[in-house]
Amino acid sequence: MKKPFDASYNSESSNASLYSQNNNNNNNNNNNPTSNVEYQYATSSKWQDFKDSFKRVELEELDPTLTEAEKIAIITARSPLKRQLKNRHLQMIAIGGAIGTGLFVGSGSSLSAGGPAGLLIGYGISSTFILCMVCALGELAVEFPVSGGFTTYATRFVDESFGFAANLNYAIQWLVTLPLEIVAASITVQFWGTPKKYRDAFVALFYLVIISINFFGVKGYGEAEFVFSIIKVACIIGFIICGIALVCGARGSYIGGKYWHSPYSAFVGDTPGARFKGTMSVFVSAAFAFSGSELVGLAAAETANPRKAMPKASKQVFWRLTLFYMASLTLIGLLVSHTDSRLIGSSSVDAAASPFVIALVSHGIKGLPSVVNVVICIAVLSVGNSSVYACSRTLAALDEQGFAPNWMHLGYIDRAGRPLVGIIITSVFGLLSFISATDQQVNVFNWLLAISGLSSLFSWAGISLCHIRFRRALTAQGRSTDELTFTSPLGVIGSYYSLIMIFLVFIAEFWVAAWPTGYKEMSAGAIVENFFEIYLSFPCVLTCYLGHKIYKKNWKLWIRAADMDIDTGRRETDFDQLREDIAQERAEFKAMPFYKRFYAFWC
């Protein structure tokens, strides 16, 4: 007779306590810890254990006298997600999480629209405010490793309506990204002359692998991302080395800045206005390519030790942006002409190649183009894997914050820590990827790319705003950053910079969308189509925000800083001990040699 199987759920958020805040004296002394909930069930076989793992974790009922905001804070803090991500998982998610088809394939449309200079300007400016955003997110995620990540912060630190819009926007972003990635894969396999019926088989294969990985839970996601990211990083480094050799004349002729000068030019367009619009159009593609940079914050809720892992992971973004993106895109601009008909977004309806592949093929490199195409397919699996992970967790957080109808059961999290309903919904939506069987797959790719790109900008602006509001709450409640385990190296100034830059990008994108290059020769229908292809997500987010305001009759702009809950969900609640630990760590940091301090600060 087998021993009873103990499938216990111990909420590791039990250290997080609800602090009843006294706004007059700013004391936090009434602690009501969220309780541990244990489940035991006997099993007679591994098959039974497997079936039982899909049963929902039932949590203890909350005190009905708590306010709605207090209930949301506790529910998201004690979410039964499994904390199985290790430091190595988070590091590779940070380094390789945003290296996908946005870089390998989408950068082709950016080069075609903006030219090599416009490509670097668009990606370069984007990388600066993304770095600020990720550092701010790291600070928040270390302190509050709660379910839903930054979408939960939006509800707690800004406003419930803003939180609803942020949650729904982020969920839609990843719902769109899954079929988008698989559509991109169906485009790239055309490089091998794959017959149409077999391209459909590739779509089915990618889809099944992505969905299967996520049914292994967060540990399966982490291990898959660890392997995928290593492969992607190795490919980028190899391309950079090969690209430098080609530019310097390794194939017999020196290339240098050939494609930056006449008859090609560094920008696209004959007038300054056309060149500016071409450059601004790069931001949509750049936003899509960088989407996923915020995943480390979402993964903090399922990380064993976010205090140690998150600071390093957030700072790794700087090196990823500098080395992998800017170096590789510089070489792309030197090796590929923006007039090349094979680029997605060019005048050719058969455009189907990655600029990385074009760069190698155009300069006579044999074998490596196929290797890069294989890596692109792996990148599809990676980003598709992240899509299911991110969307399912966001949908669960949507339910935990009271934004979803009860009948949808979006908050269903099973005993293996999987948000099961969220995974199923994301998987069903992913079936849209089979639209690649149509002749309009490139148009579909461009539409999905635009929707996902602007969605990322909204998400990043929300993260920066949450950081600003959190710092404001600390000041208003008579507290300081001394109690924080990790503070953003760029401070609150970085968040202001990020927020302002994203706002300016939205203004410029509106101009590009409403008055595109050559709009005087375009029909009214073409202008409208161009506008919504670029700016569709803006009215969607605005509708969600205003609709929630009207439905809930919530007319406040944001939660007062003095009323914010800045304690529930923290893993570290002994602030006196925490201050001592931080003081000791800072003393040890100051005692280091300069070069070690410099490395530790940025890496």
- Consecutive sets of 10 residues in the chain, 603 residues long: mean pLDDT of each? 35 37 37 40 68 80 76 79 81 74 83 91 90 91 85 91 93 86 75 75 88 88 89 91 92 86 84 85 82 82 79 74 84 92 55 78 86 87 88 91 88 88 92 75 67 82 95 93 85 95 90 81 83 82 93 89 86 69 79 81 68
Q: Please check whether residue 580 lies inside any domain of the structure.
A: no
Q: Of the candidates 492, 561, 602, which has an alpha carbon nearest to the alpha carbon of residue 133?
A: 492
Which helix (H) or strand (E) segment is 30 a member of?
A: strand 27-33
Between CA 410 and CA 392 the distance in angstroms is 8
Identify the DSSP state of 20: E
Which helix (H) or strand (E) segment is 28 a member of?
A: strand 27-33
Q: Please check whether residue 603 lies inside any domain of the structure.
A: no
DSSP string, 207-235: HHHHHHHHTTHHHHHHHHHHHHHHHHHHH
Q: Please check whether residue 467 lies inside any domain of the structure.
A: no
Contact 327, 319 (CB under 8 A): no
Q: Of the candidates 334, 324, 338, 330, which has an alpha carbon nearest to the alpha carbon of residue 363?
A: 334
Between CA 310 and CA 269 the distance in angstroms is 43
Which helix (H) or strand (E) segment is 111 a member of?
A: helix 106-143
Q: Of the candidates 117, 145, 189, which has an alpha carbon nearest to the alpha carbon of residue 372?
A: 189
How many separate domains does the chain show?
Answer: 1
Between CA 296 and CA 487 the distance in angstroms is 16
Query: Token pair for residue 393?
Result: 């967790």
Q: Please check whether residue 579 lies inside any domain of the structure.
A: no
CATH number at residue 88: 1.20.1740.10
Q: Please check whether residue 570 lies inside any domain of the structure.
A: no
Residue 33: beta bridge partners? 17
Strands 27-33 and 17-22: antiparallel
Q: Please check whether residue 572 lies inside any domain of the structure.
A: no
Contact 247, 331 (CB under 8 A): yes
Backbone phi and psi for residue 557, each to the nearest 5 degrees, phi listed first: -75, -45
Q: Please check whether residue 4 lies inside any domain of the structure.
A: no
Residue 414: beta bridge partners? 56
Between CA 57 and CA 38 the distance in angstroms is 9
Q: Is the bond leading into 272 cis (omega within 30 degrees of zero)?
A: no
Containing domain of residue 411, as a range? 12-459+500-558
Residue 256: how many other CB atoms lie within 10 Å: 12
Q: Please check whether residue 332 lies inside any domain of the structure.
A: yes
Between CA 490 and CA 106 the distance in angstroms is 30
- Where helices occur in 477-552 by DSSP H, the ranges are 491-514, 524-535, 537-552
Over its C-alpha atoms, the chain yields an Rg (Å, rounded) of 24
Residue type, 367: G
